[in-house]
């Protein structure tokens, strides 16, 4: 792409809100996100109001950074109930929205706590695709007390956990708790009280709790309660997927350089997420997937 300065064709950037389902699978499913693009970001209270009105689990707000070219953007993310530091599926949706409006290629995003990049393009079939480079990842063991509280929330016991992958606190732009389950049926049976889940997640600062079933060394099924943001469950969650991929690297899981995650299946919104894992500890995870434009 040729570099276009902010003064060239960008003076009258009319605010626009689009709806895009990220990490769709063969043109269906995915996690809907709102993407608001305008000259300058609205006040936080206004962004919160818009996100609540849109009603999706996340809405991303993007504005060009002054005195930079059109490939540099300031981005913030709001759920219907709260701002979050990073959201993967809304970033994928943002990559598609920017590519559709300003041209395919790589865009640099300045978040509240990190700088990342996202790319958007159409493949040979005309389907929209996007990929992001996550913030740095890190992980640490979860205490027995924390794990017990989380198990109790869902009605699980320690016997439901997969001993191959210990519960952990994981981070890839936002904080999550991961609970690996040894049976697919336990994952399918997930249930909890939203108010109790929100209280627990807000107490510990977890944006989501990631429940994982391992089908193979490179294939996982997940569910993502997002009570922190006032949403019972997300059908596709790029942030937690990046954090989980980084955690697999930390524990020397035989990931072979990339994993695929199937999410949303138990919601009837099957989504497919790919995460590519470099060897360097803590380095960014490349998360990619298809996206579909919504009416």
Identify whether the C-beta of residue 134 lies closer than 8 Å to the C-beta of residue 287: yes
Number of other CB atoms surrounding residue 94 within 10 Å? 32
The yes-or-no verdict on residue 71 having pLDDT over 70 is yes
| SS3 state of residue 273 | strand
Q: What span, in angstroms and rounded, lies between the C-alpha atoms of 19 and 96? A: 10
Domain definitions of the chain by residue range: 16-133, 138-293
170-182: average pLDDT: 97
* Band of residue 4 on the pLDDT scale cut at 50, 70, 90: very low
Does the CA dihedral 247-252-258-261 come out positive or negative? negative
Superfamily of 16-133 according to CATH: Diaminopimelate Epimerase; Chain A, domain 1 (3.10.310.10)
Per-residue pLDDT at 7: 43
Beta bridge pairs of residue 115: 110
9-27: average pLDDT: 87
Q: What percent of the chain has pLDDT over 90?
A: 94
The yes-or-no verdict on residue 23 having pLDDT over 60 is yes
Beta bridge pairs of residue 149: none
* Token couple for 258: 């990339």
Per-residue pLDDT at 146: 98
* Token couple for 286: 């490349």
Q: What residues contact 208, with CB distance under 8 A and at least 6 apart?
A: 174, 176, 201, 224, 225, 226, 228, 234, 237, 239, 240
* Band of residue 11 on the pLDDT scale cut at 50, 70, 90: low
The yes-or-no verdict on residue 231 having pLDDT over 50 is yes
Same fold, 16-133 and 138-293: yes
* Token couple for 218: 């490179």
- Rounded to two decimals, the pTM is 0.93
| SS3 state of residue 254 | coil
Enclosing H/E stretch for 44: helix 44-54
| SS3 state of residue 149 | helix
* Band of residue 68 on the pLDDT scale cut at 50, 70, 90: confident
Per-residue pLDDT at 69: 87
Q: What percent of the chain has pLDDT over 70?
A: 96
- CA 83 to chain CA mean position, Å: 14
159-166: average pLDDT: 98
The yes-or-no verdict on residue 1 having pLDDT over 50 is no
180-189: average pLDDT: 98
The CATH classification number of 138-293 equals: 3.10.310.10
Identify whether the C-beta of residue 46 lies closer than 8 Å to the C-beta of residue 61: no
Identify whether the C-beta of residue 142 lies closer than 8 Å to the C-beta of residue 149: no
């Amino acid at each position: 792409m040729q570099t276009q300065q902010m003064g060239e064709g960008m003076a009258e950037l009319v605010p626009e809100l689009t709806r895009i389902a990220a990490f769709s699978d063969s043109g269906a499913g995915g996690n809907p996100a709102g993407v608001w693009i305008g000259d300058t970001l609205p006040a936080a209270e206004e962004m919160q109001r818009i996100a609540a009105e849109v009603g999706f689990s996340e809405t991303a707000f993007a504005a060009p950074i002054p005195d930079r070219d059109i490939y540099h953007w300031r981005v913030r993310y709001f759920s219907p109930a709260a701002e979050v530091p990073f959201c993967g599926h809304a970033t994928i949706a943002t990559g598609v929205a920017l590519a559709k409006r300003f041209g395919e290629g790589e865009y640099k995003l300045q978040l509240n706590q990190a700088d990342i990049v996202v790319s958007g393009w159409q493949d040979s079939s005309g389907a929209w695709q996007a990929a992001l480079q996550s913030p740095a990842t890190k992980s640490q063991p979860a205490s027995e007390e924390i794990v017990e509280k989380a198990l109790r929330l869902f009605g699980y016991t320690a016997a439901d956990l997969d001993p191959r992958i210990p519960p952990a606190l994981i981070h890839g732009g936002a904080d999550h708790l991961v609970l690996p389950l040894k049976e697919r049926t336990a994952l399918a049976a997930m249930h909890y009280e939203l108010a109790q889940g929100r209280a627990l997640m807000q107490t510990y600062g977890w944006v989501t709790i990631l429940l994982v079933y391992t089908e193979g060394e490179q294939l996982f099924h997940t569910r993502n309660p997002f009570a922190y943001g006032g949403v019972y469950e997300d059908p596709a969650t790029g942030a937690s997927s990046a954090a989980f991929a980084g955690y697999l690297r930390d524990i020397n899981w035989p990931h072979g350089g990339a994993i695929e995650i199937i999410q949303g299946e138990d919601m009837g919104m099957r989504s497919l997420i790919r995460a590519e894992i470099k060897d360097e500890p803590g380095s960014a995870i490349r998360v990619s997937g298809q996206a579909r434009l919504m009416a």
